[in-house]
Amino acid sequence: MSALAGILAERGFLVSGSDPRPSPVLEQLRTAGVRVFQEQTAATIAAVMAAEGAPMVVISSAVPAANEELVEARRRGLSVVHRSDVLAALINDQPSIAVAGSHGKTTTSTLIATLLEAVGEDPTAVIGGIVPAFGSNGRHGQGRLLVAEADESDGSLVKFNPRLGLLTNVELDHTDHYPDLASLVATLQRFASGCTTLLANRDCPVLREHFQATSWWSTRSSEGIDFAAIPLEERGDGTLATWFEQGVALGTLEVPLPGRHNLSNTVAAMAACRLEGVPFADLRQAVAGLRPPGRRFDCRGLWQDRAIVDDYAHHPSEVAATLAMARLMVESGRSPLPLVPRRLVAVFQPHRYTRTAQFLDDFAAALAHADAVLLAPLYAAGEAPMAGISSPALAEAVRALAPDLPVAVAASMEALAELVASGTGPGDLVLAMGAGDVNSLWDRLGALDEHERPSALVA
């Protein structure tokens, strides 16, 4: 929503909005001329209408029907549209690259936008995370291309008709919206049918079986593949790989993002740029400056000689990939962090009862690869509780798989900070994962009083 607001303001629209929580993003919007209300009440609609006339009201799927602003807008007969309708208008209005799939959308779209900017394409970007090269999640560029993250969580991406569609991978998720994998596949097939050109990940079995891509990429094989990067050396601070096009090796790449999943994201981004005509030599040079978006293995700093890292991973596959990348740092002795970690402590916050219930055993299997596991209280995201689904239940599942693994559960976010303080030591990589408020861990650690620490923990 904030990315769209910023772009529309830059394009000359009068834009207003509301958010009760202060943030740097809101300050950026104010600087761009967006009127930001802190209250979400009927009065904000009246204030906007008094100053600017009848607005179009844009909502996301997160806005409940009982929201006072939305109720007032409908009472006044104002036009109410979904954010996907606005994004579709932007995507369909100019040559665009839309990135969809279960995992890696934000990172891949960030990398595409970063590479295009580095080679002088000056793209417009609408992305779900902060792009380091731009300092924001949205950007109004003067170039010909628009890069957008196409979120599948509510099915609204079927409205998009990009010139180039990109599919990273497909796994069942968002079980509050999709009853099974087949329904998710059907939605993504509708998205794919609206793309002029489709670029997809050949390493994903679901994509191989259910999609007919115009071009494929891979990190496993170059045979019969349009774009591939085959690893020569995988380290905790990056990957050295050979780049192939149509099976022909064009040279080596130094990818500064560790982990096989990040290599795949980078190949996808480079392939998209190649399909848009960007020379390989230019991309090879630009790759060295790649950085992940905010909340993707985002090192917040050192706290008492522990590296505190924030990551958005909230699906078992994402947790497993993030832990595997962190393990590379421990085992290879090389790391982009301020220290080379000696031990990997997973701090995880389950997100949504439906997702936790669906993947409880898978989460446990992923977390069992850490050296210690600390669990935050489950983040409901507005869902009603489900019997037997909780962070303690996940802890028991982890213990069943790895009886010797230290596992603890915090009763509150404040207690989680205390648990990190008492249960970790110098040299540890404390990896906080989840889509809820676990990203507040860094601030909570900073606020800890060394002499008066809470002890509200659940064994």
- Catalytically annotated residues: 105-106, 149
Encoded tokens for 246 = 């149509």
- Nearest residue to 417 (alpha-carbon basis) of 299, 329, 313, 306: 306
E strands of 281-434, at which residues?
298-303, 306-311, 343-348, 372-375, 407-410, 428-433
- Nearest residue to 368 (alpha-carbon basis) of 327, 418, 416: 327
Give CA–CA dist 5/122, Å, rounded: 19
Encoded tokens for 63 = 């806005």
Measured from the Cβ of residue 135, the count of other Cβ atoms closer than 10 Å reads 11
Measured between alpha carbons, how far is residue 328 from residues 233, 258, 333, 362, 370 in Å? 11, 8, 8, 21, 12
375 exposed, middle or buried (CB, 10 Å; 0-12, 13-18, 19+)? buried
Give the contacts of 292 (CB within 8 A, at least 6 positions apart): 107, 110, 132, 257, 262, 298
Query: Which residue type does 153 have?
Result: S
Locus of tokens 């606020």:
447
SS3 254: strand
Query: Which residue type does 323 have?
Result: L
Residues in the chain: 459
Give the contacts of 201 (CB within 8 A, at least 6 positions apart): 101, 167, 168, 169, 207, 216, 217, 218, 264, 268
Encoded tokens for 44 = 């904000």
Give CA–CA dist 103/311, Å, rounded: 13
SS3 413: helix
Give the contacts of 416 (CB within 8 A, at least 6 positions apart): 347, 374, 376, 377, 410, 438, 441, 444
DSSP string, 65-130: TT-HHHHHHHHTT--EEEHHHHHHHHHHHS-EEEEESSSSHHHHHHHHHHHHHHTT---EEEEEEE
111 near 118, Cβ under 8 Å?
A: no
